[in-house]
Structure 1
Amino acid sequence: MSLSFIHRSAMLCRGFRASFNLYDHTARIPNTTIRLRTLCSSAGETNTGILQSTEEYKFVERLIPPSRVPIPPKHDGPSPSGWTPPSEVPPALPYMIRRSRMHNVPVYTDLTHGSRKTTLVRKVEGDIWALEKDVKEYLQQLTGKDLPTQVNEVTMTLRVKGHFDTELKEWLVKKGF
């Protein structure tokens, strides 16, 4: 029993050696290239180190993605994509809504539990309760209903029941945010 095990392991070892055996690469290379290599190496060239070329680095810089979103260009009115720049002077209100890192108004829709639709206003600084009062008044004029809202002072967010993202974005852009 042990003899057959040793015989099998020896056959496996021979098989692995045969499959992983490195073959001679120089046998396949023509003799002229070997002579050229030896001739070049015997010419006495020494390694001078690293050559730095700053002119060619501009091609590398084009491939590196920017680390932050560039500042949008100054223009009046909406762009062809529909994006509107914020006003130069912030509005004189007790609250401020900062733009997102992509320079958009931070109003988002949320769908939870399959049917619960809410609208989320983020990045609210200042008096968030005054914003809630103004949003409730605006949406009551728009829909005719008193919609429930939720204020989270820690995360600086305002949540409104229903999908009103386009209406709130337009309203906030008109206010100057």
Structure 2
Amino acid sequence: MERMDGVPPEGEGLKGGTHRRTDGQVGQWRGVFSPGGGLQPLLPPPGPPQPLPYFVRRSRLHNLPVYPRLRKSNRRLTELRHVEGDIWALERELRAFLGGRGGKEPEVQVNEVTGSLRFKGRWEGELREWLLQRGF
């Protein structure tokens, strides 16, 4: 149930609707509750989206799907999930981007069935930065 002040009830996640503003006009809101409290607006990236052969969906909590993993004997991996479309084109672009950061190109494992990429090493910050630059 929505309240008239435009704030969704507690316990609700992603919401949208209308509310009456203080000037008497009817406005619209759409946002997500943050863990610290309050409604955080969901804003689309600036400008029109680039036509790419792949798409990286955000997680259900609207975070970028980049996850650090630790395997046997301290093997550090970084996983990028929720990839749709041409996963091989994404792999080529990311390999070139990360290889241009200095050092050699990272080793990458592609899983077409689950739509995920695993990179050897810690690349969370670089992957998040690249995804945000691309408008994901």
TM-score, length of structure 1 as denominator length: 0.54
Shift of 1:104: 1.2
1:124 to 83, 89, 103: 83
CA distance in 1, matches of 2:45, 2:60: 13
Mapped contact 1:69–1:101 kept (Cα < 8 A): no
> Which residue does the alignment assign to 2:92?
133
- Structure 1 unaligned regions, length at least 5: 1-60, 76-84
> Which residue does the alignment assign to 1:4?
none
Q: CA 1:87–1:98 in structure 2 vs 1: closer, same or farther (change >3 Å)?
A: farther
> Which residue does the alignment assign to 1:65?
11
Shift of 1:176: 0.8
CA RMSD in angstroms, aligned pairs only: 2.0
Per-residue CA distance 1:37-94 (angstroms, 9 max, x = gap):
xxxxxxxxxxxxxxxxxxxxxxxx95x622x43434155xxxxxxxxx5456332111
Q: One-letter code of the match for 2:130?
A: W
- Structure 2 unaligned regions, length at least 5: 1-7, 16-30, 33-40
Shift of 1:146: 1.9
Report the count of equivalent residues: 106
Shift of 1:101: 1.0
Which protein is richer in strand relative to its size? Answer: 2
Q: CA 1:95–1:146 in structure 2 vs 1: closer, same or farther (change >3 Å)?
A: same
Mapped contact 1:117–1:162 kept (Cα < 8 A): yes
> Which residue does the alignment assign to 1:90?
49
> Which residue does the alignment assign to 1:150?
109
Q: CA 1:86–1:106 in structure 2 vs 1: closer, same or farther (change >3 Å)?
A: farther
SS in 2 for 1:139: helix
CA distance in 2, matches of 1:167, 1:117: 15
TM-score, length of structure 2 as denominator length: 0.69
- Higher Cα Rg: structure 1 or 2? 1
1:113 aligns with 2:72: yes
CA distance in 2, matches of 1:151, 1:142: 21
Shift of 1:174: 0.5
Which protein is richer in helix relative to its size? Answer: 1
2:128 to 158, 166, 169: 169
CA distance in 2, matches of 1:103, 1:87: 17
> Which residue does the alignment assign to 2:60?
101
SS in 2 for 1:103: coil
